[in-house]
């Protein structure tokens, strides 16, 4: 089982107990250092006290379970307004929202498409741009995230 899956299993009930939901678990190497990040969410938004409460509750469990052999930095963050959509449930929750789709290869001269999320099926993403539906195959899509216009 992957480190992120192990951490998700024991962290999710703790995050829920603190009044939040677990959005994502990420274990990545940045600048030669390893980072374990929990992304949390809640209605009305997450603030620093939520992140701190979850961090203090999960940290001793991480020490006890010790799922990561090397040294790493542990962070708890807000999922953010422009969060990435990864799981089918993420796409269901934000159907009709504005999204930015990043592609591996340019399509019509662009590697980024913005539009309204209209469908998600087996990894294929359909967005609507100016009244036109565009379906992108799973293998074309590098990333889908919410898009907020300011």
What CATH number corresponds to the domain at position 57? 3.30.300.70
**What is the rounded average pLDDT of the residues 69-90?**
93
Q: How confident is the model at residue 94 (pLDDT cuts 50, 70, 90)?
A: very high
Please indicate, yes or no, whether residues 17 and 66 belong to a single structural domain of this protein: yes
Domain assignment present for 83: no
**What is the rounded average pLDDT of the residues 73-97?**
94
Q: Name the domain count of the chain.
A: 2
Whole-number Å distance between alpha carbons of 114 and 134? 11
- Cut 0.85: pTM above it: no
Q: Which of 58, 78, 98 is the last residue of a domain?
A: 78
b/e sequence 87-122, b meaning 16+ C-beta within 10 Å: eeebbeebeeeebbbeeeeeeeeeeebebebeebee
Please indicate, yes or no, whether residues 96 and 60 belong to a single structural domain of this protein: no
Domain assignment present for 49: yes
* pLDDT attached to residue 149: 84
Domain extent, residue 27, equals 3-78
Please indicate, yes or no, whether residues 66 and 102 belong to a single structural domain of this protein: no
Please indicate, yes or no, whether residues 11 and 50 belong to a single structural domain of this protein: yes
* pLDDT attached to residue 125: 96
**What is the rounded average pLDDT of the residues 68-93?**
93
pLDDT surpassing 90 at residue 150: no
76 burial via Cβ count (<10 Å: 0-12, 13-18, 19+): buried
* pLDDT attached to residue 107: 86
Domain assignment present for 26: yes
Please indicate, yes or no, whether residues 30 and 74 belong to a single structural domain of this protein: yes
């Amino acid at each position: 089982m992957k480190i992120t899956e192990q951490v998700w299993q024991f962290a999710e009930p703790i995050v829920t107990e603190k009044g939040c939901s677990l959005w994502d678990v990420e274990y990545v190497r940045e600048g030669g250092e390893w980072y374990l990040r929990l992304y949390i969410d809640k209605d009305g938004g997450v603030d620093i006290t939520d992140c701190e409460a979850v961090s203090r509750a999960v940290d001793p469990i991480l020490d006890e379970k010790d799922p990561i052999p090397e040294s790493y930095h542990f962070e708890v963050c807000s999922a953010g307004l422009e969060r990435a959509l990864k799981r089918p449930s993420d796409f269901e929750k934000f159907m009709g929202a504005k999204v930015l789709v990043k592609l591996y290869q340019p399509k019509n001269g662009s590697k980024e498409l913005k539009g309204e999320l209209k469908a998600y099926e087996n990894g294929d993403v359909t967005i609507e741009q100016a009244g036109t539906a565009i379906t992108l195959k799973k293998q074309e899509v590098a990333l889908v995230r919410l898009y907020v216009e300011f």
